[in-house]
């Protein structure tokens, strides 16, 4: 182990400019940034019309971008090795089912804009990211949202933040084939330093809530299990389909509409598997409201720890989206003194977050690494995270 805390290497506009100069020569029209995100609580609630509580991270994707006179998209990513890192795409040929690989998250934004009747010209894009791929910290949303923000600025689309986020979501859903909700993109676009975002995913209302853990002597520890996941697979899609079927059987538009009161009685109307899936979504959305209320009131954030633990138990037992490496890390964090810990993200790998005392972050990270390796899992990587600002233009 190289050390208990290993934050990702910092990047800035110079990293994207270096890639741009090597790939295309000349100068870009501008440089943009969009962050990844970590979700404090509320998992798989976003595509059920429920509540989520993410923060934007100080890690993300930086893009140097130049307008073209044609409908071609040239894109180069420094994070994709070899020839696969460069793509040239005719934007007029992009459609659902296109086999574009990672570039679908970029080209899909142009497709989504054209579907809205917006003018879409080609771009030259150079990218670098410091969001660990497969970690559940929304590297894909950072990619699609930095593209959407740059394209909108360069073409003068005059779109509000939720619409910028919607372009990124449509790119992921329709072109990349990842059936995500809108939380990741909204968090990437609407993030504010020092704040968490309570997002009503039905109305797309974003409420900024102070989340300054340092004021209370606390840190948010993000522990990457390095058990990579992919949202473009049958497991994620199955959970979404189960939720839709449960809502249909309960005669509601979305699981958001099921009251948490007398929930056990309500769920007797469902087969056992659908009842468990629905119970997770309904209770986790309610937990978001409880955590948001505590944070708004100025209560000691340590109080939310129990709700974080309850959320993890629900994801493990009812929604069945954790994996042994993640469960090991979560349990080790609690045993080492974390006030609460839970898996975050779509599941089947990814990260655990832990609410910890500032001076305990390193020791807890060490304990989690030791527990994971003892159990035969990959050694996790940990860093502390603070809320950051969302997608924006950096220069030029």
Count, residues in the chain: 396
Closest-CA residue to 389 (of 56, 106, 72)? 56
| Interatomic CA distance for residues 347 and 173, integer angstroms | 17
- Alpha-carbon 145 to chain mean position: 11
Can you name the residues that pair with 344 across neighbouring β-strands?
A: 351
Contact 188, 141 (CB under 8 A): yes
Instruction: Establish whether 184 is a catalytic residue.
Output: yes
> CB neighbours of 3 closer than 8 A, spacing ≥ 6?
none
Reduce the secondary structure of the chain to three states and give it as a string.
CCCCCCCCCCCCHHHHHHHHHHHHCCCCCEEEEEEEEEEEECCCCHHHCCEEEEEEEEEEEEEEEEECCCCEEEEEECCCCHHHHEEEEEHHHCCCCCCCHHHHHHHHHHHHHHHCCCCCCCEEEEEEECCCCCCCCCHHHHHHHHHHHHHHHHHCCCCCHHHHHHHHHHHHHHHHCCCCCCHHHHHHHHCCCCEEEEEECCCCEEEEEECCHHHHCEEEEEEECCCCCCCCCHHHHHHHHHHHHHHHHCCCCCHHHCCCCCHHHHHCCCCHHHHHHHHHHHHHHHHHHHHHHHHHHCCCHHHHHHHHHHHHHHHHHCCCCCCHHHHHHHHHHHHCCCCEEEEECCCCCCEEEEEEEHHHHHHHHHHHHHHHHHCCCCCCEEEEECCCCCCEEEEC
- From the list 46, 124, 153, 184, the catalytic residue is 184
Residues with a catalytic annotation lie at 184
């Amino acid at each position: 182990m190289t050390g208990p805390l290993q934050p990702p290497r910092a990047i800035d506009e110079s990293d994207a400019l270096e890639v741009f100069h090597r790939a295309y020569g000349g100068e870009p029209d501008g440089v943009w940034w969009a962050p990844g995100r970590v979700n404090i609580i509320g998992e798989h609630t976003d595509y059920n019309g429920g509540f989520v509580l993410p923060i934007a991270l100080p890690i993300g994707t930086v893009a140097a971008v130049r307008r073209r006179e044609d409908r071609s998209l040239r894109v180069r990513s420094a994070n994709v090795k070899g020839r696969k890192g460069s793509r040239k795409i005719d934007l007029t040929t992009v459609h659902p089912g296109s086999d574009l690989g990672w570039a679908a998250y970029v080209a899909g934004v142009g497709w989504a804009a054209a579907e809205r009747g917006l003018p879409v010209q080609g771009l030259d894009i150079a990218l670098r990211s410091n969001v660990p791929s497969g970690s559940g910290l929304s590297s894909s949303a950072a990619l699609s949202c930095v593209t959407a923000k740059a394209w909108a600025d360069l073409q003068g689309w005059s779109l509000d933040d939720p619409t910028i986020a919607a372009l990124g979501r449509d790119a992921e859903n329709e072109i990349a084939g990842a059936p995500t909700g809108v939380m990741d993109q909204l968090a990437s676009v609407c993030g504010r330093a020092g704040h968490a975002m309570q997002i009503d995913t039905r109305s797309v209302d974003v409420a900024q809530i102070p989340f300054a853990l340092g004021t209370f002597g606390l840190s948010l520890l993000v522990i990457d299990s390095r058990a990579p996941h992919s949202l473009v697979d049958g497991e994620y899609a199955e959970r979404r389909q189960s939720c839709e079927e449960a809502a249909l059987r309960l005669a509601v538009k979305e699981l958001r509409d099921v009251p948490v009161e007398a929930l056990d009685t309500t769920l007797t109307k469902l087969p056992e598997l659908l009842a468990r899936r629905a119970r997770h979504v309904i209770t986790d959305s309610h937990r978001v409201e409880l955590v948001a209320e505590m944070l708004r009131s100025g209560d000691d954030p340590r109080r939310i720890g129990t709700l974080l633990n309850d959320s993890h138990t629900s994801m493990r037992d009812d929604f069945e989206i954790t994996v042994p490496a993640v469960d090991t890390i979560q349990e080790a964090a609690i045993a080492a003194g974390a006030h609460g810990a839970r898996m975050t993200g779509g599941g089947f790998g990814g990260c655990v977050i832990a609410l910890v005392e500032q001076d305990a972050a390193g020791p807890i990270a060490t304990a989690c690494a030791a527990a994971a390796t003892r159990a035969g899992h990959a050694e996790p990587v940990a860093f502390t995270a603070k809320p950051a600002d969302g997608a924006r233009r950096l220069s030029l």
